[in-house]
């Protein structure tokens, strides 16, 4: 390949996963892909044989003191500086990220912009499709199908959870955080996850808990229950493998939702303040439930901040019974081999 593209997307998990389909199209068009990423997502991007991840210390760059930032940026410059690229795409709105690619020579440099429709992720459209429009200079066309997630080809097939007979359901009861803050309004109440887990255990299903090292605060809620606790114990590729051992994964809008989208499991995604049209993985056996029916304030996330909210009523409108109904529908479709295209459903308004 004679052409090369440099992608700058440090994290978070969901953003990286949603950018992958467009970047894969660049690769299929003949471009060698280099991707500057943070330490959290480096193991995930290393699972794709067709791209070359370049790891940087994103914690120091984004949250360190002046010396730590300068040292980390200088280290990155030594890896990418003065290289020639055909495309350098910094997938952020904040112009300060452009400092990361200052010494890069590129025929075209692209950033996101809130003042330009051509470089703005349009609300309501799936972000995978929007990244493709931006990176490949696609015109707005009538596309019947959204881009599907790009499955990693180097995860391996060794199980990280025991393979047992019976139905396995994965739950993601925490998460919804980024480098600087917890985005708690995205979360379905942990009490609802507990109620759902109790019902699943009563059915004789195996229940697995997924989450990162910062999510162990939910353990006490499940300590009297016979669940398989994977909180904080798995790498991102291992989460994908573990999700593939599940029949269904239930998650609100957080990183593991997108990892589950890269697995073989059916997925039930729970949304309220964020629009599932933007973020729901678009593949077979994926259902999004969008709470907040008749709420004038939904959605309240603008891509950067949430509106002030103390009740989180849109997420609370989604009941465990609603989740069970959609989960059962997916289980039945998979067992029967019936097609189940991605869809968005709504709970009954009270």
Residue 145 — pLDDT band, cuts 50, 70, 90?
Answer: confident
Residues 202 and 335 in one domain: yes
Q: CB-based contacts of 215: which residues, under 8 Å, 6+ apart?
A: 173, 174, 175, 231, 232
Q: Is residue 323 part of a domain?
A: yes
- Strand segments, DSSP code E, in the chain are 3-8, 31-37, 51-55, 84-90, 105-111, 168-172, 206-209, 228-229, 248-252, 266-271, 286-290, 343-345
Query: Given a cut of 70, is residue 158 above it in pLDDT?
Result: no
Report the pLDDT averaged over residues 324-344. Answer: 96
Q: Is residue 194 part of a domain?
A: yes
Dist. CA 325–CA 306, nearest whole Å: 29
Q: And the tokens for 324?
A: 């069970």
Is the per-residue pLDDT at 101 higher than 90? yes
Token pair of 29 as six digits: 């068009």
Mean pLDDT is lowest, of 164-168, 208-212, 253-257, 339-343, for: 164-168
Decide: 51 and 1 in contact? Cβ < 8 Å: no
How far apart are alpha carbons 201 and 172 in whole angstroms? Answer: 16
> How far apart are the C-alpha atoms of 67 and 329, rounded to whole Å?
54
Q: Which two structure tokens, joined as six digits, stand for 107?
A: 């025929």
Q: Is residue 30 part of a domain?
A: yes
Residue 128 and residue 204 share a domain: no
Which CATH number characterizes residue 90's domain? 3.40.50.2000
- How many folded domains does the chain comprise? 2
d(CA 49, CA 61): 27
Same domain, 180 and 310: yes
Angle formed at CA 24 by CA 22 and CA 29, multiple of 5 degrees: 100
Provide the residue range defining the domain that includes 217: 168-345
Which two structure tokens, joined as six digits, stand for 228? 């398989």
With 60 as the cut, is the pLDDT of residue 72 above it?
Answer: yes
131, 179: one domain: no
Q: Smallest Cα–Cα separation from 155: which of 297, 247, 46?
A: 46
For 175-220, how does the pLDDT look when each residue is reduced to its tens digit (9 = 90+)? Answer: 866 555 557 889 999 999 999 999 999 999 999 999 999 999 999 9
- CA neighbor of 293 nearest in space, from 311, 315, 278: 315
Q: Kindly report the pTM of this predicted structure.
A: 0.93
Q: Are residues 13 and 90 in the same domain?
A: yes
What is the average pLDDT across 37-64?
A: 95
54 in any annotated domain: yes
Q: Is residue 217 part of a domain?
A: yes
Do 14 and 107 fall into the same domain?
A: yes
Tokens of 23: 């970047």
Whether residue 146 lies inside any domain: the answer is no
Dihedral angle sign, alpha carbons of residues 28, 31, 34, 36: negative
Q: Are residues 233 and 276 in the same domain?
A: yes
3-state secondary structure of 59: helix
Q: Please check whether residues 341 and 256 belong to one and the same domain.
A: yes
Q: How many CA atoms lie within 13 A of 11 on its CB side?
A: 23
Could you tell me if residue 62 is inside a domain? yes
Q: 212 and 290, same structural domain? A: yes
Model confidence band, residue 140 (pLDDT cutoffs 50, 70, 90): low
Are residue 254 and residue 318 in the same domain, yes or no?
Answer: yes
The answer as to whether 162 is a domain residue is no
Instruction: Kindly write down the DSSP assignment for every residue of 155-183, as one continuous string.
Output: S-S--SS---SS-EEEEE-S--B-SS-B-
Q: What is the rounded distance in angstroms from the CA atom of residue 207 to the CA atom of residue 167? A: 9
pLDDT of residue 146: 87
Q: What is the mean pLDDT of residues 25-32?
A: 95
């Amino acid at each position: 390949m004679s052409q090369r593209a440099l992608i700058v997307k440090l994290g978070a998990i969901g953003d990286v996963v949603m950018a992958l389909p467009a970047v894969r199209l660049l690769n299929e068009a003949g471009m060698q892909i280099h991707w500057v990423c943070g330490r959290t997502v480096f193991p995930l991007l290393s699972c794709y044989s067709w791209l070359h991840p370049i790891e940087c210390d994103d914690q120091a760059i984004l949250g360190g003191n002046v010396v730590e930032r300068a040292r980390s940026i200088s280290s990155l410059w030594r890896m990418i500086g003065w290289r020639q690229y055909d495309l350098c795409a910094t997938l952020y709105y904040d112009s300060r990220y452009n400092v990361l690619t200052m010494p890069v020579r590129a025929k075209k440099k692209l950033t996101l912009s809130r003042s330009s429709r051509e470089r703005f992720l349009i609300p309501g459209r799936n972000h995978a499709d929007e990244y493709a429009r931006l990176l490949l200079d696609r015109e707005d066309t009538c596309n019947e199908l959204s881009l599907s997630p790009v499955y990693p080809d180097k995860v391996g097939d060794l199980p990280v959870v025991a393979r047992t007979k019976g139905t396995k359901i994965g739950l993601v009861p925490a998460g919804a955080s980024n480098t600087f803050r917890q985005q708690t309004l995205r979360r379905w109440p942990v009490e609802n996850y507990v109620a759902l887990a109790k019902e699943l255990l009563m059915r004789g299903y195996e229940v697995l808990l997924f989450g990162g090292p910062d999510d162990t605060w939910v353990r006490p809620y499940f300590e009297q229950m016979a669940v398989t606790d994977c909180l904080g114990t798995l790498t991102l590729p291992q989460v994908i493998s573990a999700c593939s051992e599940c029949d269904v994964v239930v998650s609100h809008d957080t990183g593991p939702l997108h990892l589950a989208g890269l697995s073989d499991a059916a997925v039930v995604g729970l949304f309220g303040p964020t629009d599932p049209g933007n973020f729901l993985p678009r593949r077979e056996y994926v259902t999004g439930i969008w709470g907040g029916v008749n709420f004038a304030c939904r959605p309240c996330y603008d891509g950067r901040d949430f509106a002030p909210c103390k009740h989180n009523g849109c997420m609370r409108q989604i009941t465990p019974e609603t989740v069970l109904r959609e989960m059962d529908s997916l289980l039945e479709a998979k067992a029967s081999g019936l097609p189940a295209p991605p869809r968005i459903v709504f709970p009954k308004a009270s």
